[in-house]
Structures are given as structure tokens and as C-alpha cells.
A and B are shown apart, each in its own frame.
Chain A
Amino acid sequence: MNLSRSSSSDLILDVDHVWKIYCRNLKRAMWYGLKDVGREIIGGGRDRSHHDLRSGEFFAISDASFQVRRGECLAMIGPNGAGKSTMLKMINGLIKPDSGSIKITGKIGALIELGTGFNPILSGRENIYINAAVLGIRKREVDGLMEKIVEFAELGHVINDPIKTYSSGMRVRLGFSIAANLRPELLLMDEVLAVGDVGFRMKCFAHLNELVKQGVSIVLVTHAVGMLQRVATRSVVFGQGKIVHDGDLETGCTIYEEMLGASDRVRAKKKEEPGRIGEIGSVEVCNEAMEPQAEFETGETVRLRIQINAREKIKDARLIVALCSPVHGVLASVSSPYQGIYFDVDPPGRVITLEIPKIPFLIGAYHFNISLFGREKVDFYHRSSLRGVFRIVGPPTNADGYGINGITKLQHSWEING
């Protein structure tokens, strides 16, 4: 652990072999809570060794270690229940780890939930003072920041009206503006990137980037992976309480997307029933030379090799193939009849290959949903989801407006006029 301690002065956050135990059963959880309070009071709070779970308990976090340095923006990503928010709560000191330690150098400012503590009856200005006081800021300092906060939130015209007359977007803007203008050394944010309208969101990103440049460290939790590239510099991916990736953002996002797909795959598999006349067998993603391959670059040729199994002869079969992303859903769908192709399948089956030349999609994880039909709409044989998983791993995209970004690479050209 802590291999790179050479620049330890820049270490803002050090999460060291942290474990956290939760209990899902409500009655038990309350009883354990009571026992834990008692144990804390008599001084028995201790490192719980890694395998003494009480009945009904599970590891919400197992053996997590990572570090954040000055001026780094770390994104914690993962499916629901993977332990991201729990980790954020422990870093914020709201709950204690059951084992291991968390060291923080400097001051923490948290945006766990925007606008917590707003009183609807009081005016925006009064609420700024209260919210700032909750975050530990003196009135004198708030007075100095007041103009900046109000201006950033773009609420100058209503700042003396009661908060209950604000729209939800206005409240969110005010909350973000307060927390973001306070300049802590470590900023914690839980699902607050998707705030306000696009214009305000861009302003938030610009502001966060500015903070990072000035040496503020940020740890953020979000499901809006698409937005991460605008701020985050590194990612830690959680899967079932464990850290499965700690490193660059692109790989992290791809792994996360794959995890989303994987959980859907398990569900889809359960639904499969035996005894079909025709079904989708093995599916392989290959390169131009028909060698199996899982990683591609944008613009390369992807070939999908689909094995169709048949117990009886299928006449005039047609295939529908949808290319999907776990995050964005169906990106494109093609069918064999579109190019006038119907085919017969004799038992035991045959192989159909779909070629996608110059695949236009950008970095991310992708898969196919494949359906097998006969000539008529009612002649349905089989649908198979989440097949042929592959990744686009390059070239890099750019979210700051200096390259290309989004889902697909758009063919385009510029012309300077007048």
C-alpha cells in the first residue's frame, strides 16, 4: 500500500483497506444499531475482522483502497448498490468504517445533496446564510461571497423572495452555487452533476475545472457517465463493494458499461426456454479476417458471426440485429429483408455473417440484440439479447471542445464563409 508516498504532501485523501458492513433486514439492523451504540459507549468499537458477519449482514465495501492527490478529480462509478455512496459517506465522516482507515488532509466541503437545510418560508438570501453556516462558514465570509453566489446562481432578481416560490431548478442552482463558491480542499459530490439546464450545467463544469486547476481535489459519484469526461481525470469503479478498476476514465467507463450489460445478461439468460424450432446459437464478434476480437477502434470493420440452430427446416427466415449500448439503448437496427435477403435454414443450422464496415461509434461498450423470424410478422422463432459484446477503445474523444465526442463519429466538413 501507498507505493507512491514520495509526494505525500500532495496526498489529500488516503482510503486504506476499508471495509463496511451493512444489514438489509430492518428489524435486525435496528437491533444491531442499538448494540453498536452500546458498544461504542463502553469503548468496544473495534476493527471487525473480515469474516465475523452477524446474521443478515453483508459487506457493502470490501477492502477498498485508493488515494486522491491535490488537484485531482476522481469519479466513483458503478451500478446501484455497488458501494459508491457508502464510500462517500465514510469519506465525509458521516459513518465509520468497520475496518481500515480514511485519512483526509485539509478541509472537506460536501455537496451530498444540494440545498439540504433550505427553509421554504425564508428568502433565498436568508437561506444562503443558513446553508453556509451548515457548511461551517462565518457570516462575515458569506457577506464577502454573497454577490458571487447570487450572480453564479443567476438568481439576483428573486433572491429576496421565499424559497418556496422557486422552481426546483432554481433551488438546485442556488445550492450548487453556495457549495461551489466556498473553496474547500476536498469537494465531495453525490449525483449533483445533472443539475439545472444545459447552460448552467456547462457553467458548473467550467467552475469545477477552474477549482481543480487551483488545486482543489474533487471526488464525485454519478451515473451520468457521459458527463464525466468534462471534469473527471481518473475513475474508481465499484462492483459489489469491491474496487474493480482504479485508473484512467475511459477504461473505467467502459468497464462500468460492461457491468451494466452483464447484469442484464444474467436476467436475459434466466428467461430462455428450451424446445424452440429455431434459435440463435453462438454469436461471435470478429475482425475483417474473421478472427474473434473484442476491442476495436472507431472506423474499423466489425463482423458478427451468428450461428442459427434449427430443429426443423425454416423457410424464408429473416434476421433483425440491433446494435446497442448499455447506457444509450438501441443505437441502430438492421434487418436482412432491408437488403432483400431471406434465407432457408436446414437442420442442424447455418451461419450468417453481418458485416459492419467502418463502424462509426466512439469509445464505449456495445452489444447486439438478435431476433430470428420467418417471412411473416407472426413467424417468430427466437430473440437473444446482449450478445456479441465488444468495445471501442480508441481513438480518444475530447469533451472540452477540441476534438470529437458523443456516441458516433459524424462525417462532416467545415467551410469558412464571408
Chain B
Amino acid sequence: METEFEKSKPSGKGEQPIAVARRTPETSQDVNSDGIKASGQDSANVTTYSAQSSIRNPFQLIQDIFADFWLGRELAWRLFLRNIRGLYRQTLLGLFWAFLPPIANTAIWIFLRQANVFSMGDTQVDGTVYILTGMILWQAFIDAFQMPLAMFNKNRNLISKLNFPRESLLLVGVGEVLFDLLIRLLLLIPAFLIFQVPVHATVFYAPIAILGLVLIGASLGLLLMPIGSLYQDVGRFISMVLPFWMIITPIIYVPLTTFPGSLLNWVNPASPLLLLARDWLLIGTTDHLAIGLIFAAAAIPISLIALVVYRVSIPVLIERMTA
């Protein structure tokens, strides 16, 4: 993994100054062996902090956000490795913990269905695989949705004491969500074999819908993060609402097609992309292409807005954390 990381770095550029100045584009200047800028080149790298909102200059702001994603990539990778290693170094069952929630959830619902507690409708494939896939996708969505606040809370100490590209925390968060998702998707291999589900070519499209699902979940979570970090009510509310949200998402049943139930597919941001991803993974044809793509497209501007909110709110949040 270390070597992979080595390759991903850009080559060429001269030695970079060692500590990174925030909000200043990296310039390739001559630096002496100690990393201290030689005198006579002082015109570069002036950072100014004032009361003005950086949002007054939106293009610069967006540029800064992406610059920090780039600057923070190595840190993100380090933190990602740290978390993954740390996560499994002190467990006996290791990766099994990643598999457990979707398996347990699926088992409960399969049991209830076999007891005829509810009916799923025509799922076109085996009900177990249908629910398992839905559970894995739903888990990825809510992981992504809860990630920004969890990330912020977990790294409060770091955020309030060091000035580093905070965007890297989001990279770590999304990375962890995708990592867990990939591990869980492995469950589908035995499931496909056991329940003899044919593999369709649309499987290759599925990543688009899955990434859209994660992106929209993370963006919505990011929009809630500032309020959530100030008021714990938000976190409590979310954990209270999640079971209901799962029920109104077509995971354990096929989506409702008649009004007003069909309205749920439009107001529930988790629904369209989850349905599209599942259809592409399991069935090969889909009725949710248009709405899914609309939501996937909408995820992009929403995520940009969320990133801007994240960036401008952090200094205010730090102030309230320490004041």
C-alpha cells in the first residue's frame, strides 16, 4: 500500500517548502536545503486573515477548496490508513464487523417475511439477495450521511488546534464509507452463487449510481454538520429518524407505484439512486433510470454548496468549541 501511494505522487517539481501555508497556492520557488526560503524572494506567499467572508469571492473560494483537496490528499491517505489499521488492530474478529450489520439486518427481515409478517411484492430475483443488496446500499447511504458530523466530532481536537486542509477529513470519510461498502459488496458473490442470480452487463453501470448515492448522502450530511456540531439535538434526531427513514425506503419491498406511495420515491433522497443501483446490480433493466440520473446530477451542485458551507463554517465552529 505504501508503494502504491508513492506512485500516485507527482514527480518532477523541485523541493517544496516544508510547512504548508494555507490558502496560498503552491509556488515553485527555490528553497535552500533547510527548507527556508532564501531572502530576496519575499513577495510570494502572503496570507491575510480578516473578518470578511471568503464567500464574497466564490470562484476563489471554490478554487481554494479544490486546492486543499489536492494539498490534503496525502494527509487523507495517511489518516485513512491509520484509521483502517487502528480499526482492525484491536479486534479479534477483524473485518467480520464490516459484514455483520447487513447480514444481521437481512436475516431479521427474511425471517419476518417467511413468517408472513409483510409482503415484498414481485422482486424479480430471490428475496434474500434483494434485501441483502438493498441493505448494503442503504448502509452505504446512511454511513455517508452520518460521516461528516462523525468525522468532525472525532477530530474536534485536531480541527480546533491545527490549521490543515480540512477537506482531507472528508476524503478520509468518503474513503472509509467506500471501503466498508466494497467489503460488504463481497457478500454478494456468495449470495449470487447460492441463490443463482444471473449477472447482467448493467453491473458495470452500477458504480455510477452507487457513487451518486454516497455523494448525495455525504452532501446532505455535510449540510447538516454545522448545526449538528453546535446542537447535539441534530444527532439525536437523526438516530431517532433513521429506522423510519429505512422503512420508507424501498429496501425490503419493491417501490410503490401508485399515488401517493409513489411520491416517496421523489421526496426520499435515498430512494432513486438506491433503486437504480439495485436494478443495475440484480435485474438488468430498470424503471428508475431518469429519476436516478436526475438525482445523480443534482448531487454535484449540492455537494459543491455543501463544501462551501463546510469551509466557511469551520472557523465559526472552532470559535464556539473553544470559547
- Name A residues whose Cβ lies closer than 8 Å to a Cβ of B: 9, 22-24, 29-30, 32-34, 36-37, 39-48, 60, 70, 89-110, 112-113, 116-117, 119, 121-122, 126, 129-130, 133-141, 182-185, 214-216
B116 to chain A, nearest CB (A): 48
Can you name 10 A-B pairs with beta carbons within 8 Å?
A: A37-B226, A37-B227, A90-B49, A104-B49, A112-B162, A122-B85, A139-B74, A141-B16, A182-B19, A183-B36
* B268 at the A interface (CB under 8 A): no
A364 to chain B, nearest CB (A): 32
Q: Is B284 an interface residue (CB 8 A)?
A: no
The distance from the CB of B206 to the nearest CB of chain A, in whole angstroms, is 33
The answer to whether B163 and A110 have CB atoms under 8 Å apart is yes
B258 within 8 A of A: no
- Stretch touching chain A among B139-147, B176-184, B309-317: B309-317
Complex interface bits, B27-63 against A, C-beta within 8 A gives 1, otherwise 0:
0000000111101001001111111110110000000
Residue B112 lies at the interface, judged by CB distance under 8 Å to chain A: no
Chain B residues with Cβ under 8 A from A103's Cβ? 46-48
Q: Do A138 and B90 touch (CB < 8 A)? A: no
User: Interface stretch among B75-83, B197-205, B245-253, B294-302?
Assistant: B75-83
Is B109 on the interface with A (CB-CB < 8 A)?
no
Q: CB-CB < 8 A to B74: which residues of A?
A: 133, 138-139
> Known contacts A33-B320, A100-B50; is A126 also within 8 Å of B9 by CB?
no
B119 beta carbon closer than 8 Å to chain A: no
Q: How far is the CB of B195 from chain A (nearest CB, A)?
A: 39
In the complex, residue of chain A having the shortest beta-carbon distance to the beta carbon of B79: A130
Q: Look across to chain A and name the residue whose beta carbon is closest to the beta carbon of B78.
A: A133
Q: A37-B309, A48-B51, A109-B19 are in contact. List 8 more A-B contacts (CB 8 A).
A: A22-B319, A95-B319, A100-B51, A117-B158, A129-B78, A135-B20, A136-B18, A185-B19
Q: Does B164 contact A (CB under 8 A)?
A: yes
Q: Which of A41, A93, A100, A139 contacts B312 (CB 8 A)?
A: A41
Is there contact, CB below 8 Å, between B20 and A136? yes
- A43-B53, A106-B37, A121-B86 given as contacts; is B47 within 8 A of A136 (CB)? no
The answer to whether B216 has its CB under 8 Å from any CB of chain A is no
Alpha-carbon separation in the docked complex, A106 to B164 (Å) = 15
What residues of B have a CB within 8 angstroms of the CB of A40 in the complex?
A: 53, 55, 312-313, 316
Are A94 and B18 closer than 8 Å at their CB atoms?
Answer: no
How many whole Å from A84's CB to the nearest CB in chain B?
Answer: 13
CA A48 – CA B51 in complex, angstroms? 8
Q: Using a Cβ–Cβ cut-off of 8 Å, how many residues does chain B contribute to the interface with A? A: 63
Q: Across the interface, which residues of B come within 8 angstroms of A44, CB to CB?
A: 53
**A294 vs B65: C-alpha distance when bound (angstroms):** 57
Q: Which 7 A-B pairs have the closest CB atoms?
A: A136-B20, A45-B53, A184-B19, A33-B320, A109-B19, A133-B75, A101-B50
The answer to whether residues A113 and B317 also contact, given A101-B49, A108-B19 and a CB cut-off of 8 A, is no
Q: Are A134 and B50 touching (Cβ within 8 A)?
A: no
The 8 Å CB contact of A137, one of B5, B18, B48, B165, is B18
> B58 — nearest CB in chain A belongs to which residue?
A43
**Closest CB-CB distance, A40 to chain B, in whole Å?**
4
What chain A residues lie within 8 Å of B123 (beta carbons)?
A: none
Cβ-defined partner of A45 (8 Å) among B46, B51, B163, B226: B51
| Pairwise interchain contact A107-B323, C-beta atoms closer than 8 A | no
Q: Give the docked Cα–Cα distance between A103 and B71 (Å).
A: 22
Which of B36, B46, B82 is within 8 Å of A216, CB to CB?
Answer: B36
Once A119-B82, A134-B164, A182-B18 are accepted as A-B contacts, the answer to whether A96 and B34 lie under 8 Å apart by CB is no
Contact status B317-A33, CB under 8 Å: yes
B208: Cβ under 8 A from any A Cβ? no
Across-interface contacts of A45 in B (CB, < 8 A)? 51-53, 55, 312
Residues in B whose Cβ lies below 8 Å from that of A23:
323
Kindly state whether residue B22 has any CB partner on chain A within 8 Å: yes
B37 / chain A contacts, CB cutoff of 8 Å: 106-107, 185
Q: Knowing A108-B19, A183-B34 touch, does A30 contact B320 (C-beta < 8 A)?
A: yes
Whether B162 pairs with A98 at a CB distance below 8 angstroms is no
Question: In the bound complex, do residue B51 and residue A30 qualify as a contact, i.e. CB atoms below 8 Å apart?
Answer: no
Closest to A22 in B: B323
Q: How far is the CA of A113 from the CA of B48 in the complex (A)?
A: 23
B17 within 8 A of A: yes
- Among B23, B37, B82, the most chain A Cβ lie within 10 Å of the Cβ of B82
A121-B320 in contact given A45-B53, A102-B48, A136-B20 (Cβ < 8 Å): no
Given A106-B45, A121-B89, A182-B35, A46 and B52 contact (CB-CB distance below 8 Å): yes
* Residue pair B315, A214 in contact (C-beta under 8 Å): no
Partner of A183, one of B18, B90, B161: B18
The contact string, 1 if C-beta is below 8 Å from chain A, for chain B 230-249, is 11000000000000000000
Instruction: Determine if B322 is an interface residue (Cβ-Cβ < 8 Å).
Output: yes
Contacts of B23 in A (CB 8 A): 93
Judge whether A121 and B20 touch: CB under 8 Å: no
Bits for B119-156, please: 1 = Cβ < 8 Å to A, else 0: 00000000000000000000000000000000000000
B315–A134 contact, CB under 8 A? no
Residue B263 is within 8 A (CB to CB) of chain A in the complex: no
- Is the pair A110, B50 in contact by a Cβ cutoff of 8 Å? no
| Residues from chain A with Cβ under 8 Å of B226 in the complex | 34, 37
Partner of B49, one of A93, A126, A129, A138: A93
Cβ of A29 and Cβ of B20 under 8 Å apart?
no
CA of A40 to CA of B89 in the docked complex: distance in angstroms?
A: 42
**Does B308 lie at the interface of the complex (its beta carbon under 8 Å from any beta carbon of A)?**
yes
A136's partner among B5, B71, B85, B312 (CB-CB below 8 A) is B71
Q: How far is A94 from B317 in the complex, measured between Cα atoms in Å? A: 10
Q: Taking A103-B46, A103-B47 as contacts, is the C-beta distance between A136 and B319 under 8 angstroms?
A: no
The answer, among B21, B79, B227, for a CB contact under 8 Å with A34, is B227
Q: Are A94 and B48 in contact (CB under 8 A)?
A: no
A126 close to B82 (CB less than 8 A) = yes
- Give Cα distance in the complex from A216 to B32, angstroms: 13
In contact, B51 and A98 (Cβ under 8 angstroms): yes
The closest CB in chain A to the CB of B75 belongs to A133
Report chain A residues within 8 Å CB of B48. 101-104
Complexed CA–CA distance, A260 and B150 (Å): 42
* B285 beta carbon closer than 8 Å to chain A: no
The residues of B that contact A113 with a CB separation of less than 8 Å are 157, 161
Name the residue of chain A whose CB is nearest to the CB of B312: A40
